[in-house]
Amino acid sequence: MTILVALVLGAVIGILLGLLGGGGSILAVPGLVYGLGIPLEQAVPMSLLVVGIAALFGAIPKIRVRQVQWRVAGVFAVTGLLAAFAGGAANRLLPQAVTLAGFAVVMIASGIRMLSSTEGSGTACRAEGSTVDWRRCTSRAVPAGLGVGFLTGLFGVGGGFLIIPALVLLLGIEMSVAVGTSLVIVTANSGSGLLAYLGNLSLDWGLVAVFTATAIGGSLIAGRYGKKVDTARLQKWFAYLIFAVAVFVLVQVIVVR
């Protein structure tokens, strides 16, 4: 049963990464904790490892067709590096109930943002096509990168569910390019976050292998056939799923307490 749950969870995470450039990772930690009964201190680094590898494979097709803003990815990766270490340190200091409750709040905020259909003020950062005017937008990109990096280390997520809104709504990048750029950033942030846990890493490597393999397969399939999917509708349904999972996590935290 454990392997079956890992297969399903891995496939869902990979597919959502490939289609939306993120999002699947937000289900990883609750799925590992409540679906597989893995302790939070193991679920966080496992999530980072699996999501990071799946995002790397999902990014390859996007890189080939040049749907990555490398400068944006670099800014997010560099600013997120130290922030991810800080988030990992905070995770080890906070009680599990506090961490999970905070995670649920972030999930709700992310779901609300996903339901937003407007471009926001990001068009002010667009110079030409998906090119970013850095003289106007550095003040937005750097804080966004720091925030995503910290939450990556704190909650064990790749951060794509936060990166995509930041790229589209704050920087005005086209969705297709934002997905590719997000996958590169998720890979870098997951690696940075995982480094903060290396000293205390204790994982079921057989389960990690199964989880990772299905996540990679899901991301590659979604990346190849994703153009046929209505991503706007998928994003809305995924937002509703996030709300449901967030409520479940909050109920579990209250019941345990």
Q: 67 and 180 in contact (C-beta within 8 Å)?
A: yes
CA distance 173 to 72: 10
Phi, psi of 131 (to 5 degrees): -75, 140
Distance CA 99, CA 93 (A): 10
On whether the pTM is more than 0.85, the answer is: no
Is the pLDDT confidence value at 81 over 60? Answer: yes
| Per-residue pLDDT at 142 exceeds 80 | yes
Confidence of residue 121 (pLDDT cuts 50, 70, 90): very low
Decide: 234 and 19 in contact? Cβ < 8 Å.
Answer: yes
The mean pLDDT value for 220-248 works out to 76
Average pLDDT, the chain: 79
pLDDT of residue 2: 75
Taking residues 136-151, report their average pLDDT.
80
What φ, ψ does residue 151 adopt, rounded to 5°?
-70, -30
How many beta carbons lie within 10 A of that of residue 219, not counting itself? 32
Domain ranges of the chain: 2-256
CB 16 within 8 A of CB 179: no
Q: What is the pLDDT of residues 29-68, one digit of tens each?
A: 888 888 888 888 888 888 888 888 888 888 888 898 888 8
pLDDT band at 120 (very low <50, low <70, confident <90, very high): very low
pLDDT (tens digit per residue) in 215-225: 888 888 877 76
The Cα 112–Cα 81 span in angstroms is 27
